[in-house]
Structure 1
């Protein structure tokens, strides 16, 4: 659906530019957009490589394992249907740790692996399990201590203080995570009542 919406915007833009006789503006905008996209990507690559390196050092130093131990009671509360020794728990904790550190790109592969492991536990392969829905809600709304991608974008556009958004981002992500957990709990209880 999103692809159709973007296609609609692009076609309408071309048609309006052609009617107005300004098709050269569309061409210029396409090239300017491509140039900006490449510039932003290079800026993001540098900051992501830096933070992925920091995360690797933290992993080798055992920091991620300590963070995972801190998150374990919280994960057990949110995912009561998953056996404690199941591999999905490790992937979920790694995903949450990466999201907390603002490494959404590094969290994605771990989230996919967690979903694959949760699918193995799912009795109905055609419908997402409650645990899968919980993971999706948490992954989407995750608390972020260091919004590395946003800081990188702000640095790329020469912000005077690119890290000034840390406090507001932390507050916003705490609120979004709490809202996701509350909505997830409400739907889970409703699902359990309908199942009986």
Structure 2
């Protein structure tokens, strides 16, 4: 559906530009957009490579395992229906760690693997399990300590102080995560009451 919406927007803009005799603006916008996309990608690439390298070092040094042990009581509280030691727990922890560092691109593959593992535990394959909904809520809101991607974009566009957003990002992402978890628990409670 999203592809259809994008296609419709492109076709409508081309038709409107043709009717108004402004086709040169479409060409200019296409080339400017491509140039900006490549420039931003190169800027993000260095920052993401740096943080991904740090995540790899943390993994090899055992820091992620230590973090996993420290967060394991919280994970068990958030995901009570996932058995202790299940592979999904490791992927969930990796996903949350990447999100904490603002590495949404790095968090995505781990989140997908966590969903695959949670699907194996799911009794009804056609409906998302409560654990899957909780992971989606946490992943969408995700507390971010260091908004790496946004800092990289701000640096790319010449911000005087690209890290000044750290405090507000932490506060807003913390609030979003709390709200997401409260809504998740409320729906879980309603679901349990309905099927008793």
* TM tier relative to shorter chain: over 0.9
Provide the TM-score with structure 2 as the length reference: 0.97
Moved more, 140-149 or 104-113: 104-113
Query: For the aligned residues, what is the CA RMSD?
Result: 1.0
Q: Specify every segment of 5 or more residues in structure 2 that has no aligned partner in the other structure, as ranges.
A: none
**1:143 — aligned with what?**
143
Aligned length: 196
Question: What does residue range 72-91 of structure 1 map to in structure 2 within 5 Å?
Answer: 72-91=72-91
**2:65 — aligned with what?**
65
Q: Specify every segment of 5 or more residues in structure 1 that has no aligned partner in the other structure, as ranges.
A: none
State the 1:8 CA deviation: 2.1
Question: What does residue range 99-178 of structure 1 map to in structure 2 within 5 Å?
Answer: 99-178=99-178
Moved more, 76-85 or 61-70: 61-70
State the 1:68 CA deviation: 1.4
Equivalents in 2 of 1:51, 1:112: separation in Å? 20
State the 1:144 CA deviation: 0.5
**1:19 — aligned with what?**
19
State the 1:5 CA deviation: 2.2
Equivalents in 1 of 2:160, 2:74: separation in Å? 37
Equivalents in 1 of 2:55, 2:80: separation in Å? 28
Equivalents in 2 of 1:70, 1:144: separation in Å? 18
The answer on whether the counterparts of 1:68 and 1:97 sit within 8 Å (CA) in structure 2 is no
Provide the TM-score with structure 1 as the length reference: 0.97
